[in-house]
């Protein structure tokens, strides 16, 4: 098993996602059973262990599959545990199978969610947290971003700023009251997407300028799918279809001498 260090940014992500899941299931009555949670986490860890040993020949690292598993527990719902177990297997296996230039192409949770949504085997849970919980989760996400120094604050803030600007511009154009875009912003799913999905260091461009361009692109495509074509879960699809562009952006915007490709093995905290 790979050595686990509190200098690893994933520790903070697991802590915040785990707390939210416990609070959501225990206090807010999220429609996710303990059995489903156990199935997702077990399937994610087992797939990571199997693929680590058989495909890449690397030590088992439980951190990344825990992040993916918690994200699936918070977002994805199904009529039985089987599709949820399948989502965890697809998510983790995609990291080992769909790769280019030493990086996996898709964010694991996003890949599994998009595939299952396209096949109608599962659905995204609607927002189940109130405004107070949302505000607390936003604070935890921002604190996690600062503490982890995961070198991806640029893409999170660029995406969130672009998406909020689109919501406000649309409300102004339609003459909607400010309460409508504010309500659209207060989504736990949006926070999960912003701070734990689009910011995945292993599936985003290496260069900062390319990451910011990528964030704007995902926000624009997501808004276009949502408001022009009324596609449910438009941001999930936007990231899914934009992810294969990352290798192209890495070629068009190569790292300069001061930029080093992100590796989880490097300490993030000093």
**pLDDT at 89 exceeding the cut of 80:** yes
Q: Do the beta carbons of residue 140 and residue 20 sit within 8 Å?
A: yes
- Look at residue 158 in the predicted model and tell me its pLDDT: 93
Q: Which of 19-33, 163-177, 199-213, 238-252 has the least mean pLDDT?
A: 19-33
Identify the burial level of 232 via C-beta atoms within 10 angstroms of its C-beta, where 0-12 means exposed, 13-18 middle and 19 or more buried.
exposed
**pLDDT at 270 exceeding the cut of 50:** no
pTM of the model: 0.87
- Look at residue 132 in the predicted model and tell me its pLDDT: 62
Query: Which tens digit of pLDDT belongs to each residue from 198-210?
Result: 988 889 998 989 9
- The number of residues making up the chain comes to 270
- Look at residue 145 in the predicted model and tell me its pLDDT: 62
- Look at residue 201 in the predicted model and tell me its pLDDT: 84
Q: What DSSP line would sit under 182-226, residue for residue? A: HHHH--HHHHHHHHHTTT-GGGS-SSHHHHHHHHHHHHHHHHIII
What residue spans define the domains of the chain? 9-124, 136-252
Q: What CA dihedral angle connects 52, 54, 57 and 61, to 10 degrees? A: 10
**pLDDT at 57 exceeding the cut of 80:** no
Cα separation of 206 and 262, whole Å?
7
Query: Which tens digit of pLDDT belongs to each residue from 143-177?
Result: 666 555 556 788 988 999 999 999 999 999 999 99
**pLDDT at 12 exceeding the cut of 90:** no
Round the average pLDDT of the chain to a whole number and report it: 85
Cα separation of 38 and 104, whole Å?
26
Pairing of strands 76-77, 103-104: unpaired
Task: Grade residue 11 by pLDDT with cuts at 50, 70 and 90.
Answer: confident
Cα separation of 103 and 84, whole Å?
25
């Amino acid at each position: 098993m790979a050595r686990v260090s509190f200098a690893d940014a994933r520790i903070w992500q697991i802590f915040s996602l785990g707390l939210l899941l416990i609070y959501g299931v225990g206090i807010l009555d999220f429609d996710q059973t303990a059995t489903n949670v156990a199935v997702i986490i077990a399937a994610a860890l087992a797939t990571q262990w199997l693929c680590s040993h058989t495909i890449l020949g690397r030590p088992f690292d439980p951190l990344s599959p825990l992040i993916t598993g918690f994200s699936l527990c918070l977002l994805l719902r199904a009529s039985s545990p089987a599709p949820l177990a399948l989502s965890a297997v697809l998510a983790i296996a995609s990291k080992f199978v769909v790769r280019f230039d030493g990086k996996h192409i898709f964010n694991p949770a996003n890949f599994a969610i998009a595939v299952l949504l396209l096949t109608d085997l599962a659905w995204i849970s609607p927002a189940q947290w109130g405004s107070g919980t949302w505000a607390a989760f936003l604070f935890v996400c921002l604190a996690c971003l600062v503490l982890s120094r995961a070198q991806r604050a640029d893409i999170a803030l660029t995406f969130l700023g672009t998406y909020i600007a689109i919501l406000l511009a649309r409300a102004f154009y339609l003459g909607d009251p400010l309460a409508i875009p504010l309500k659209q912003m207060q989504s736990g799913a949006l926070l999960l997407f912003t701070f734990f999905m689009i910011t995945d260091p292993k599936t985003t461009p290496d260069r900062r300028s390319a990451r910011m361009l990528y964030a704007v692109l995902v926000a624009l495509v997501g808004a276009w799918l949502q408001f022009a074509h009324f596609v449910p879960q438009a941001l999930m699809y936007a990231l899914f279809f934009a992810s294969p562009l990352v290798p192209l952006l890495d070629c068009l915007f190569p790292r300069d001498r001061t930029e080093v490709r992100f590796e989880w093995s490097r300490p993030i905290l000093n």
